[in-house]
Each structure stands twice: as structure tokens, then as C-alpha cells.
Amino acid sequence: MSAPEIRPVLPAWAETVRARYLAGEASVFVLYRNVFDRYLVDGKAPSMVDFLAGVLLKGNKERLFEISVDRGLRVLSGIAADEKAALYEHLEAKGMPGILASVERRLREHRSNGVLIPYAGTVIPAGDPQFLSVDDRSAQTTLHRWSLDDEINANDNVIILICESLSEISPALLTNPRVSAVEVPVPDLAERERAIRHYAPQMPAEQLRQMAEHTAGLRVIQLAGIVAGDGGQGLNEEERRRLIAGLLSGQPQADERAGRLAGITAGMTPEEIRQMVDPTRPLPDSASPQEEMLALVRRRKRELIEKECAGLIEFIEPKHGLSVVGGNEGIKAELMEIARAIRSGERARCPMGLLAVGPMGAGKTFVIKAFLKEAGLTGVALKNFRSKWVGSTEANLERVLGAVKAMGPIAVIIDEGDRSFGRQSEDSDGGTSSRIIARLKEFMSDTENRGQVLFILMTNRPDKLDADIKRPGRLDRKIPFFYAETAAERLAIIKAILGRYVSTGQTDWPLAESLMGRLEGYSNADLEAVALLALEFAGREGLPFSEALLARAMDDFMPPQDIAMIRFMEMLAVFECSRRSMLPARFRSLSAENVHQQLQALRLQINE
């Protein structure tokens, strides 16, 4: 008696497909999201079609077919060579309708067939039916009919469509109860560890663990491009080690650094490696070869994800923490508490989102970036993901949200949030704006994202935001920003600005607090402009920075201020603030009625 065949361990999504099929829930499946990857099983890493044909459906289906726009019909298994040749000859020049008709005949005449449709969005595209070609409408109708056909279902057939985003394919098919959509997720930590071990079996265990932790959001195929022993540019790992060792010759810990860097530079050309390993830049005293390696991993991760998202997101790399922020003590204390909760992993204490409000030039962007540094969060800014093509905007958004969720913990920064989430006065784009805003709201309120994805909106006009976006559960904390209230705060801000721009390391600047009285009502941006103007005077005249030069800059600088608008934006910040303790003293005693009255008066003053 032969031993029973051992079934390979399948990824969770593949087990979901198998279980739903065996339970009779569906015979048509749509696989979406991370479908252009490699999937580890039994020491191999096949692509999606090869995994489905060679692992999931192998031995379960007598015949397997693949349908695609570029290659037409391919018989993957179950048909003799002469019959296959005759079939290909018969389908010559018959197009997609002929292919679908031929496959349907076999689904009815034979039992146990599997049909794979990669790039399903090109076969049954989304869009208004009246604007689709006859062939596209025919394909939509055919697939919809197959899913409901009792004869086809009774013959133990399965149809699997593969697409990156559900928005690529006809929504009529997805609403069918006999069609099941299954998400293929980006690899989690355990899967990344297995992938790195598969492609770099000699990597030390501790280095492998750290690599897996710092590559959240990357797919298996991208990990292979970083750590595979044999790169795609003709250099194996030993050749890369020798090249890097030569570049680092004479520097401290050169051999150890070369070994670590060689393990994560697969796929890079010799010229790219030379640009990355700068022999003139020694390893900082506070750093280690391990930290140098992880910094490079993060850099390559950013490059890969930005490339994959096709410019839809931009990574934010803050250089300074909250220690370099002058003034704003109440705000800094609140943000430090949030940063500590995020760092400690206390999800219950982590807000779902932050709303930074206040007049222009109050330092919102700079302080928020410093907060990211304190919290240890990767920051990304959403760029323009709107497209003129039908369905592309929704597909772009899903790609971005999928990447964001996979990279957590992460912060998503949306500057000028009133433009992104402002009230829609008209629906001139066929409903696209309302759909993407609804999808963003849904994602922002997903409690699974607490502690993993932090949304941060910044605006000086929160009154233009949809009220629904500002509710608790989406933007829990409203952080108000104001111009410096006292001369001491303005002095602290000026000193912090000078410390950022002057490389002497000087901290005790010769400035009197009394001089700061002349800067009352200046924004943080105005204060920075005055300080930089004083430094410019010093550079022109070859003089050291002094209080006299700063006084000259104050006399020369003309702050661009619309006083009524600034007061209005300040009162809006008071109105939105979630805690009185973050307000300046002059606003803390105001009642809600007082705030409302002042807002109405200021609104009339600015003619709104």
C-alpha cells in the first residue's frame, strides 16, 4: 500500500479559495491585489499562473486552460498534442468570442476543467457598457452566465480571474453571488522571513530577522531582488563583497561592512554599488555595520515602493525631532505622548488620525515631520492619484492603500486637506470624487488600522472639510497651531531656526528677549525669514551673526499678513481643538458660544 500523498502547505489565501470551492460557495473566483508576485511552496517560488496550475489545481482538474488577450488560449494540461494543435488552428483569427465559445463547449462536454484568466481587466474591463466594444460586452456576458450556469457548475469546473484591483473588471460580475473575490495580501513578517531564507540561505539568523522587520510592504519578488545570492547584473554575492571591500579599503570594520552590504545589493550594477558605497563617507562613530545595512535596506525599500506605486506616494524623511522645535510646548507635550504610545505598541492609546489646524505659517508641517521622527514612523504623502481614464483613479487608490497597509506602522500625510476632502459642490467627474473620498473614509475608520496606519491632515481652513471626516474614529485628535504668544517663545523659535541653519554647533546666541517684542504677530515662517535675512547680511559683509544684524533684518523685512484672515483661522483652530490644555491662555476661557460669535463676526469681516 503506497503512502498517501502529502499535500503542500498553501498560503492562507489559497486555502480560502480551496475551502470556498469545496463548500460549493462559488465556482468563479477573482484573485486581486498582490497577484504579480512569487509564492513559496515546497522550496520553489512560482508565479501566480504557475502556482495555480502546478500546485493548487494540480491533480484536481483534468484539463487546464489559460485565456489572455496577448496569448489567446493556451492549453496548460490534459489535452494531447495533436488535439491541442488542431484546437489552436481552429481558433486562428477567431478572437476572444471564438476562444470563449470553444472553452464553454469543453466545460459542458467534459468534467473537471480549470480556466485561468490573468490580466482579467483586459478581458472583461470595467466601464459603462455603452462605451465598451462588442467583444468586451460579449466577454462580460459570457463570464457572468458561466457563474450562474448549473450545468457548468455541476461538471466540477472552476474559473479563476486574476487582476491587481477589483476596479479593473466589470462590477456586474463582482455583484454576482456565485462569484467570490479573494484578496492576495502582501507577505507578512513570517512570509518575508521564509522568502529571505529561501533566496539567501547563508544569511545569519539575526540579520535575516532584522531584514524581515524592515521590509514590510515589499513583495517576495522584490525581496529576491535585494537579497538573492546571484544578482541579475552578472555579479554574484562573492563578487559584490570583493567590490565593496575594495571600495571600503582602509576604513574601520571594512570586512564586516562589505559582508553585510554584499548580502543586500543583489540586482545592482557595479556602478550603482559604487554610487551607494561612498568611500569618502566614513561610518559615523555612533553607527554600526548593522545600522548601515538597515539604512540601505530602508532606502532600497523606498525606491521599490515608489517605483511600484508609479509616483502615487512620496516618502517623507524627517531630519529633526521635536527637540529642535522652538515654542509650542503644549503641542509638543501632546505629540510626545502620542509618539510614546506608538513606539510602545499600545494600540488602545494610539489615535486613528490627527488634524493639524491653524493659520498659515504656524509651523504645522515642520512640527508634524518632527513628530514622525519622535514616533519612529515612516511617513508618506499622497500625491495626485487621479487619472482621466475610467476606473484608473479607483485602481490607483487601491494600490496606494494596499501599499500603506502593508508597510505599517506608517503615517499618511495629507497637506491642505480641505482640497482633498472639501465639500463637493457638484459631481462633474461621473462620481469619481465621491467614490474615492468614501473609500478613504472607510479606510480611515477601519479599527484594524489603529496603531498601524495614522492619518494626519493639515489645513488652515477646517471649516471647508466635510464634517464626517473630522469625527472621532477618523481624526481623533485636533491639534491647534498658533503664532508665538510671548517674546520668550519667539526667542526660542529664532534660536531653533539658527541652530538648524548654522553648522557651528552654537547654542547660546547673543539675543535679548526684549528685542523679540518687535516681532509680535509674526508667524513661524516670518520668523524664519527674518533669521535667514540676518544670516544673509552676515555672509555678505563677512561678519559674525549678531543682535544688531537681526535688528537690521527686522527693519528690512515686511511680513505679508492679512490680519482679519489670520484671526479667522486662529478662531477656527480654537473651534476645532479637542483639548483646552493645548490652547494659548487667551483662548482657554472662551465658551463655545463666544467662539461661535467671534467666528460669525470674522466671517463677515472677510466677506465670506
Residues 166 and 282 in one domain: no
Residues 549 and 586 in one domain: yes
**pTM for the whole thing?**
0.77
Buried b (16+ CB within 10 A) or exposed e, 360-380: bbbbbebbbbbbbbbbebbbb
Residues 29 and 163 in one domain: yes
3 state DSSP class of 114? strand
Residues 323 and 434 in one domain: yes
At residue 503, the pLDDT reads: 65
* Domain termination residue (choose one: 464, 480, 496): 480
Q: What is the CATH number of the domain that holds 338?
A: 3.40.50.300
Residues 545 and 400 in one domain: no
Residues 237 and 379 in one domain: no
Residues 209 and 268 in one domain: yes
**Residue 210, domain member (yes or no):** yes
pLDDT category at 281 given cuts 50, 70, 90 is low
* Domain termination residue (choose one: 308, 324, 347): 308
10 Å Cβ neighbour count for 256? 15
Number of domains in the chain: 4
Is pLDDT of 430 > 60? no
* Domain termination residue (choose one: 257, 278, 308): 308
Residues 338 and 452 in one domain: yes
Q: Residue 110 CA to chain centroid, in angstroms?
A: 46
Residues 500 and 596 in one domain: yes
**Residue 76, domain member (yes or no):** yes
pLDDT category at 284 given cuts 50, 70, 90 is low
> In this predicted model, what pLDDT tens digit does every residue of 217-273 receive, in sequence order?
999 999 988 887 665 556 778 888 888 888 888 787 888 888 888 877 877 778 777
Residues 299 and 322 in one domain: no
Average pLDDT score over the chain: 86
**Residue 1, domain member (yes or no):** no
At residue 504, the pLDDT reads: 59
Q: Which residue has the higher pLDDT, 548 or 419?
A: 548
Is pLDDT of 350 > 70? yes
> In this predicted model, what pLDDT tens digit does every residue of 2-50 receive, in sequence order?
444 567 889 999 999 999 999 999 999 999 999 999 999 988 999 999 9
Phi and psi angles of residue 423, each rounded to the nearest 5 degrees, phi first: -60, 135
Residues 340 and 432 in one domain: yes
Residues 169 and 202 in one domain: no
At residue 321, the pLDDT reads: 87
Cα–Cα distance between 411 and 442 in angstroms, integer?
17
Q: Which residue has the higher pLDDT, 569 or 204?
A: 569
**Residue 7, domain member (yes or no):** no
**Residue 4, domain member (yes or no):** no
> In this predicted model, what pLDDT tens digit does every residue of 155-169 receive, in sequence order?
999 999 999 988 889
CA-nearest of 45, 51, 81, 86 to 66 is 51
Q: Give the range of the structural domain holding residue 167, as residue numbers without chain letter.
A: 12-184
Q: Which residue has the higher pLDDT, 160 or 580?
A: 160
> In this predicted model, what pLDDT tens digit does every residue of 285-329 receive, in sequence order?
445 777 777 788 888 888 888 877 776 788 888 888 888 887 778
